Amino acid sequence: MEIKDVLDTKLMILDIKSQSKKEVVKELIKPLVKEGIVKNQDSFFETIMHRETLSTTGIGMGIAIPHGKSDMVTRPSIVFGKSKEGVDYEALDGEPSYIFFLIAVPEGSDNEHLKVLSQLSRKLMHEETRTKLMQATSEEEVIRVFD
């Protein structure tokens, strides 16, 4: 599974309005519910927030990659979100997060999401990638960053 295999223009929020970690997670889950990928918003939210108690997924450099495995998820998906203001996501470097990738995978699936997580992390280490994502004005531009 590649990043571009699970990126979908219907699962992108180019202007996140939320101001807190919990609000961002809720906002990122909404497109998954709308598209029928997540069956229960509250249950999946709890899954993500439980994962956050283990260690923050705010990896630094302005990036957060919340993720969760749940029987509420029907197929592996990634929601891309971007905040112009930045959000205190309790990132490892103490800086605000601007770029979000919420990874949702079904409970019974193998660890394919870890491969995607690894690919994302490697790609996002490059300042050029982060800059292109911040400058993207359309969903198609976001997808092109990963081509």
Q: For residue range 9-62, what is the model confidence (pLDDT) as tens digits?
A: 999 999 999 999 999 999 999 999 999 999 999 999 999 999 999 999 999 999
Provide the 8-state DSSP code for 134. Answer: H
Which pLDDT tens digit goes with each residue over 89-127?
Answer: 999 999 999 999 999 999 887 776 778 888 888 899 999
CA dihedral 140, 98, 130, 37 (to 10 degrees): -40
Provide the 8-state DSSP code for 84. Answer: E
pLDDT of 1 higher than 70: no
Among residues 50, 67, 113, 126, which one is catalytic?
67
Q: Is 67 part of the annotated catalytic residue set? A: yes
* Cα–chain center distance at 110: 19
More confident residue, 3 or 19: 19
The residues, ordered by sequence, that sit 6+ positions from 63 with a Cβ below 8 Å of its Cβ are 91, 97, 98, 99, 100, 101, 124, 130
Range of the domain at 109: 3-145
CATH number at residue 39: 3.40.930.10
Residue 109: the pLDDT is 78
Domain count, the chain: 1
